[in-house]
Amino acid sequence: MAGLYSDLPQRVKVLGVPIDPWSMAQTVEACDRIVREGCFAHLMGVNADKLLQMRDDPWMDACVRRCEVVNADGASMVMAAERLGVDVPERVAGVDLMWELCALAEKAGYPIYLLGAKSEIVAKAVDVLREKYPKLNVCGLRDGYFKEDELDSVYDEVSALRPAIVFVGITSPKKEQLIEGFRELGVSGAYVGVGGAFDVVSGNIPRAPVWMQKARLEWLFRMFQEPRRLVKRYVVGNARFFRILRAEEKRARRGL
């Protein structure tokens, strides 16, 4: 698998987290190679919250390190890389990657599958994608509200359809556990964790204005949308993230 990426920038570490320092275009190219070669790949986006999950959960830490593609999804990771002198060219946000991979799928004729969110949300997301990409082959979709005893039917359905790209819009760690289950089945395809992207694509949740994205304040926009759910994650989590970053900067200055 490593040979697929031999001409792309080699993986780096940011605060101990492995990151593929690729642009959006390079990430899409890597995904195209994965599909054409008939490989399996778990595409992971790491932000401040994911980094903290890795520190608290050994399984999540091992999962991220096992992933074939690890992008800097959060602006926090790009900012941390800059402050630590690590070259990470840009943020590759899950929702933006989803749009770009759908463009690739339409052009190349790759079938895609959407798994996650509420049934009406994922169905609306498919409608929006088909409107933008009329020739897009959506071979299947399913909401993410299935019970544990329905898990085998999810695996069976997706495996039987053999999609080239699967977008998984479920919260962590269920999302990662599900994708790793597909790995164990030995299927091929690019399995892309996109979190809440279906809500954004469908229009159920608005995206932060471009100026806020460029100013690295998209997290603030999201927090004001869902304060009860996200205040602890962003306020407490970001404070912890910056403590970790400051400690790493001190170690770097001491040459440790």
Same domain for 250 and 176: no
pLDDT score of 22: 98
pLDDT score of 60: 98
Establish if 2 belongs to a structural domain: no
Task: Report strand pairing: 17-19 vs 12-14.
Answer: antiparallel
pLDDT score of 256: 57
Same domain for 149 and 42: yes
Same domain for 160 and 38: yes
Provide the domain count of the chain: 2
Establish if 1 belongs to a structural domain: no
What would the two tokens of residue 217 be? 């304040």
Range of the domain at 217: 210-254
What would the two tokens of residue 40 be? 């399996």
Establish if 8 belongs to a structural domain: no
Establish if 70 belongs to a structural domain: yes
Same domain for 121 and 77: yes
Task: Report strand pairing: 40-46 vs 12-14.
Answer: unpaired
Same domain for 120 and 81: yes
Same domain for 137 and 219: no
Question: How does DSSP assign 138-175, residue by residue?
Answer: EEEEE-S---GGGHHHHHHHHHHH--SEEEEE--TTHH
Same domain for 194 and 217: no
Establish if 183 belongs to a structural domain: yes
Same domain for 187 and 61: yes
CB 102 within 8 A of CB 128: no
Establish if 4 belongs to a structural domain: no
DSSP β-bridge partners for residue 167: 114, 192
Euclidean distance between the first and the last CA atom of the chain, given in angstroms as a whole number: 33
Q: Which residue has the tokens 């991220």?
A: 64
Q: Domain holding 139: CATH number? A: 3.40.50
Same domain for 171 and 126: yes
Establish if 245 belongs to a structural domain: yes
pLDDT score of 253: 82
Same domain for 186 and 101: yes
Same domain for 94 and 30: yes
Establish if 13 belongs to a structural domain: no
Q: Mind listing the pLDDT tens digit of every residue in the chain (256 residues)? A: 767 888 999 999 999 999 999 999 999 999 999 999 999 999 999 999 999 999 999 999 999 999 999 999 989 999 999 999 999 999 999 999 999 999 999 999 999 999 999 999 999 999 999 999 999 999 999 999 999 999 999 999 999 999 999 999 999 999 999 999 999 999 999 999 998 999 999 999 878 788 878 777 787 777 777 777 777 777 888 899 999 999 999 988 887 5
Same domain for 235 and 137: no
